[in-house]
Structure 1
């Protein structure tokens, strides 16, 4: 049975938290719990709507992971403090902007009308519900090691729990005629229906021009990589102690003891291999008991803020193309990650562009585009400390996961 996030959130607040919330918002006796439930259900509907695209789902996963850094252990104390309430609502406003976008204020009006609250009360209510719900989601994401597909499944499982709690008019603001229609948008996997829809509505990828010179390009990249390796060796051997100028490397071997802020041990969402990519991936595919969550690091280099791979990327890209050609029943997901520096939206965009850059190399080498998904994860799921340059470099990475495999 799916986890009931509404029940989890209400249970987390407890009666003391609900009473404090009611007092803070000026709600009548016994109205705090149904009001909070309506606000929380509305947030979950918005998240389900945002899960209708891979980029939206990636952004949700990123927010959920980061939300666990909030201290919501004493809700009654937070709701009784004006300063803490202001801080919580600031966080909630950012969550709502991401989840609902330009519909943020309209959603507040819908809740206001449904509950008979003024706009100030309804606005505060939903800004409080948003971070609490996101925190509940984040706890499940971390405890269960959920990836994007797992998060989508979790949100889909909330449909039965929120159906009778949504305020009238909310689904219209989200552009859906029914909750079932909203749920159908969630990205879990490409079903035959979705594939047929895409085939009718997506222009075919033109491969003729790029495909003609892709392999010469990859060969040239391979030569450049080999020369680069030789140059590195000569530099080390000549004893000068000079430093070579290199492009930004976004993938390094994962340390055995990665840490996050405050020294907390980082637990990746899925096991990550640091072995030779081709050998490890082939061994994995031959194992009937393979872990479906396992991730494989690609040795990929990008120019700073660029999305097209550099010369050092050729060997692993060539190996992946060859494996895909030898296994026509293999479908993969390419996930791009960044470190936590800079704007979260910009990181999300860059990570998606880099994943799509790798995907383009595969598609234009003749791999069917429906066999390769590209997803930007932004700074989600760090594998090392973002407070150090080495850690940031490790977190800037491209990984390959198996979507499905039929031998």
Structure 2
């Protein structure tokens, strides 16, 4: 059974925390738990709605990972301290804005009407519920090593727990007629990548009777005719009067030649990734170096499954560091390059690598980085950094790399 985040949140606050929350917001006596549960259920419904796109799900995973830094170990102490409450609500306000976007005002109005609170108190309640819920989600993400798919499953599991807690009218504010419709939007996995050539049309339906033997027979006759034609000797004029005689033998299968090290192209090392180490320090050192190599790439520590663009939670610290560096250097513009291993169809690899790069770009723009400073490029399997014949090599080739496009120190 899925973790019940509402129950976990209420248990975490405890009677002392709920009492302090009620006093801070001026809630009627004995109404603190029900009011908080309604606010928390509203937050979870908003998260379920935001998980309707891969970029939204990535943003939620990023927020959950960052929430690990919040100290909510003593809720009662926070709720009784004006300074700590102000700080908590600032964090919560950012979370609410990101989760609900332009629907925020309508959601607050719905919560106000449902609980009979003033608009300011309903807003404060939502701003408190959001970081509490996000902190719990962050702990589960970290302890269970959840990736985007795992987070989607966690959120889908909350449907039964919030069904009777969400305020009337909330779903219509989120553009859904019922909770099932909202849950159906949630992205659980990306479309699998084909492992071979993509069929341009569906396979033919099975025939019954003699018809099912007709096509195999025609194909066999066609193959025999082709082999017969290839075996014939034909006389062809090469333009000089000489006669070219074709070989009688029909080659069915040819063993690939052993690679010749003398003719095998050597990979271009000018595009080689940075050495393994701390991404932030290496990238900052690179920017500080006036003679930096413009072609150098910096791989982010992001790992992807073979068929998807859903990074795991441990992959996000480098993205957060990149966001910080972009904020520190307003004159910096970058390209995010997506790379895949060589398995499957090349066209599908190209699309997959582009979607991965765009997902990372979305994380940056959602954090406030201007979209004009970031480009997303899909490279596919064209630039491997490791041997694609091993699983370890494939994992290294499934990567996201950063390159500087322009940099003006300010």
TM-score w.r.t. structure 1 length?
A: 0.58
Q: Give the direction of change, closer, same or farther, for the CA distance of 1:350–1:152 in structure 2 (3 Å limit).
A: farther
Contact 1:59 1:348 in 2 (8 A): no
Q: Any residues of structure 2 matched to 1:107-186 within 5 Å, and which?
A: 107-186=107-186
Which secondary structure does the structure 1 equivalent of 2:335 belong to?
Answer: coil
Q: 2: CA distance between counterparts of 1:349 and 1:120? A: 36
String of CA shifts for 1:35-63, please: whole Å, max 9, x gaps.
Answer: 00000000000001001111111111111
Q: Any residues of structure 2 matched to 1:8-407 within 5 Å, and which?
A: 8-190=8-190, 225=268, 244-247=291-294, 249-252=296-299, 305-307=333-335, 309=337, 320=340, 322-325=342-345, 335-336=356-357, 337=360, 344-346=367-369, 353-354=375-376, 357-358=377-378, 361-362=379-380, 397-398=400-401
Q: 2: CA distance between counterparts of 1:191 and 1:159? A: 24
Q: 2: CA distance between counterparts of 1:75 and 1:14? A: 9
Shift of the alpha carbon at 1:398?
4.3
Q: 1: CA distance between counterparts of 2:150 and 2:22? A: 34
Shift of the alpha carbon at 1:343?
7.7
Q: 1: CA distance between counterparts of 2:32 and 2:148? A: 33
Q: Give the direction of change, closer, same or farther, for the CA distance of 1:398–1:146 in structure 2 (3 Å limit).
A: farther
Q: Give the direction of change, closer, same or farther, for the CA distance of 1:348–1:141 in structure 2 (3 Å limit).
A: farther
Q: Give the direction of change, closer, same or farther, for the CA distance of 1:71–1:328 in structure 2 (3 Å limit).
A: closer
Q: Give the direction of change, closer, same or farther, for the CA distance of 1:110–1:72 in structure 2 (3 Å limit).
A: same
Contact 1:335 1:398 in 2 (8 A): no
Which secondary structure does the structure 1 equivalent of 2:16 belong to?
Answer: helix
TM-score w.r.t. structure 2 length?
A: 0.58
Structure number having the greater helix percentage: 1
Shift of the alpha carbon at 1:251?
3.1
Structure 1: stretches of 5+ with no match in the other structure? 193-221, 230-241, 255-267, 273-280, 286-291, 297-303, 365-395, 400-407
Shift of the alpha carbon at 1:306?
3.5
Which secondary structure does the structure 2 equivalent of 1:305 belong to?
Answer: strand
String of CA shifts for 1:130-169, please: whole Å, max 9, x gaps.
Answer: 1111111111111111111111111111001001100000
Match of 2:392 in 1: none
Contact 1:91 1:131 in 2 (8 A): yes
Structure 2: stretches of 5+ with no match in the other structure? 193-264, 273-288, 316-331, 383-398, 403-410
String of CA shifts for 1:346-394, please: whole Å, max 9, x gaps.
Answer: 289977x53xx11xx4499xxxxxxxxxxxxxxxxxxxxxxxxxxxxxx
How many pairs align? 277
